[in-house]
Amino acid sequence: MTRDQFDAYCSGLKAATHVIQWGNASVWKVGGKIFAICSKWGAGDGQKISFKCGDMSYALLCEQDGIVPAPYLARAKWVQLETAKAMSNKDIKLYIQQAHSIITGKLTKAKRAELGL
């Protein structure tokens, strides 16, 4: 998935907002909390996609080739796709949707209502 495809998909998620942070990383948030990032963090060339996971998904994904605990965010159960072939675009979209849902679920009822979630 390219950065443009990543941004296009994330922009379609309800109440998602976008900022550029940390050396040109594309950061997507809901209610001010990050759910997905596309950046050049770490070693190697190319963009790397990172997203929030549930506990089980985190454990399973970290066992797969090309997927590692996300730098700086692993303690909060984030993974990073190290290569473009680590996961299909379809699966990336499913995990980003799940990340959006996880973060949405952590927002207060008042914040969810304010955002129409």
3-class SS shares of the chain: helix, strand, coil, % to 5: 40, 25, 35
Averaged pLDDT of the chain: 92
Check residue 69 and report its DSSP letter.
Answer: E
3 token code pair: 């950065």
Q: What is the pLDDT of residues 18-71, one digit of tens each?
A: 999 988 899 999 999 999 999 875 555 678 999 999 999 999 999 999 999 998
SS3 at position 25? strand
Domain 3-115 fold is: Aspartate Aminotransferase, domain 1 (3.90.1150)
Answer yes or no: is pLDDT of 111 > 70: yes
Q: Quickly state the pLDDT bin for 114 (edges 50, 70, 90).
A: very high
Query: What is the predicted pLDDT for the residue at 23?
Result: 82
- Which of these ranges, 9-13, 43-47, 76-80, has the smallest mean pLDDT? 43-47
Provide the whole-model pTM. Answer: 0.91
